[in-house]
């Protein structure tokens, strides 16, 4: 079955989103990467150096670092320093608990010293909901991490250290309104824990990898896919992240987005195709079978992806459903 998701075309590369590997100190139920403590995949130094060279050549504005827990990767700090020396904005997608891990006692200070923007996952302001989704004790550790960041100046109205939180639904439903939920987060976290932050990003759960497998096991996968399709809003197409972002896997291969990376859907330009065979939507449990991306970081040294078609499949409805969803939160 071929997806009927609308065709999209790339614009100028502005954001390089790099998945440094799948090693993580947590195993969250909503994780579309299947990251965890037992995963060992990590980007090597050669590919890290290619990332730095591409930042220079393409004058990339933003380096968005993700994982796993990106901070656990051996070359994380080397890459952050190199990017900041180039004047590139660096985003660290932080799970907060990593700030309390043995050996990471100076991590919060490192982030502040290098003016790294922190985008921190906190799927609820309720301890019960967070622990149910991410593991026992995670909420308490997350609050401790937020307090460390606040003490360094993160999240304050007059600070140059942005701290943004991320909400993911705890099940097969769309996020609530971002503006209203942000206000509730600020009220609850401020009153209960004296925590400040700048913005809340609401992100729709994608029906792939670990979350997709849970949906299939619970018999909710197809209902959730129908929810995404029935909630499609064409106005959100102009704000989807794949237009100006290239996703880089830990092996250095290039993808249109982080979700396509997890499904091993190659860049469309590499095969001159657009709509991808969705294999009866089994992306919820398995990777779409096909060739891996023939584009690597090294190809970006001499290539410009502007104007390339974007590879789309049915999971793309997750970015356009309701208020829309991107790595920067709601679109509309």
Residue 237, domain CATH: 3.20.20
Q: What is the pLDDT of residues 68-83, one digit of tens each?
A: 899 999 999 999 999 9
Q: How many CB atoms lie within 10 A of CB 209?
A: 22
The answer as to whether 28 is a domain residue is: yes
- Predicted confidence at residue 30, as pLDDT, reads 61
- Predicted confidence at residue 31, as pLDDT, reads 65
Beta strands in the chain (DSSP E): 15-19, 62-66, 89-94, 117-121, 163-167, 199-202, 245-248, 254-255
The answer as to whether 277 is a domain residue is: yes
Give the domain extent around 301: 15-320
Q: How many domains does the chain have?
A: 1
pTM of the model: 0.90
For 220, how many CA atoms within 13 A lie in the half-sphere containing its CB?
Answer: 15
The answer as to whether 327 is a domain residue is: no
Tell me which residues of the chain have a pLDDT lower than 70.
Answer: 1-2, 28-32, 269-294
| Cα–Cα distance for residue pair 57/164, rounded to 1 Å | 29
């Amino acid at each position: 079955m071929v997806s009927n998701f609308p065709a999209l075309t790339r614009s100028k590369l502005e954001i390089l989103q790099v998945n440094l590997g799948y090693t993580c100190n947590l195993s969250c139920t909503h994780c579309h990467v299947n990251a965890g403590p037992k995963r060992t995949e990590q980007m090597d130094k050669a590919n890290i150096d290619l990332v730095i060279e591409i930042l220079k050549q393409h004058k990339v504005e933003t380096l968005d670092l993700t994982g796993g827990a990106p901070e656990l990767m051996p070359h994380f700090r080397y890459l952050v320093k190199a990017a900041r020396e180039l004047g590139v904005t660096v985003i660290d997608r932080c799970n907060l608990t990593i700030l309390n891990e043995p050996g990471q006692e100076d991590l919060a200070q490192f982030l502040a010293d290098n003016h790294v923007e922190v985008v921190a996952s906190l799927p609820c302001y309720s301890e019960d909901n967070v622990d149910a989704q991410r593991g026992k004790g995670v909420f308490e550790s997350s609050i401790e991490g937020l307090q460390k960041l606040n003490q360094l100046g993160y999240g304050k109205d007059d600070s140059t250290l942005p701290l943004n939180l991320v909400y993911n639904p705890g099940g097969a439903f769309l996020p609530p309104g971002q503006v209203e939920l942000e206000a509730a987060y600020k009220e609850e976290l401020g009153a209960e824990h004296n925590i400040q932050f700048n913005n809340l990003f609401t992100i729709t759960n994608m029906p792939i990898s670990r979350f997709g497998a849970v949906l299939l096991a619970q018999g909710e996968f197809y209902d959730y896919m129908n929810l995404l399709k029935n909630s499609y809003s064409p106005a959100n197409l102009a704000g989807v992240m794949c237009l100006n972002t290239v996703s880089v896997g830990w092996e250095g291969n290039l993808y249109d987005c982080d979700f396509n990376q997890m499904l091993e859907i190659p860049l469309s330009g590499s095969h001159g195709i657009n709509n991808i065979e969705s294999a009866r939507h089994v992306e919820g449990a398995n990777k779409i079978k096909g060739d891996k991306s023939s584009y690597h970081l090294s190809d970006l040294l001499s290539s410009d992806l502007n104007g390339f078609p974007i590879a789309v499949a049915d999971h793309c409805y997750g970015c356009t459903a309701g208020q829309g969803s991107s790595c920067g939160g709601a679109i509309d």
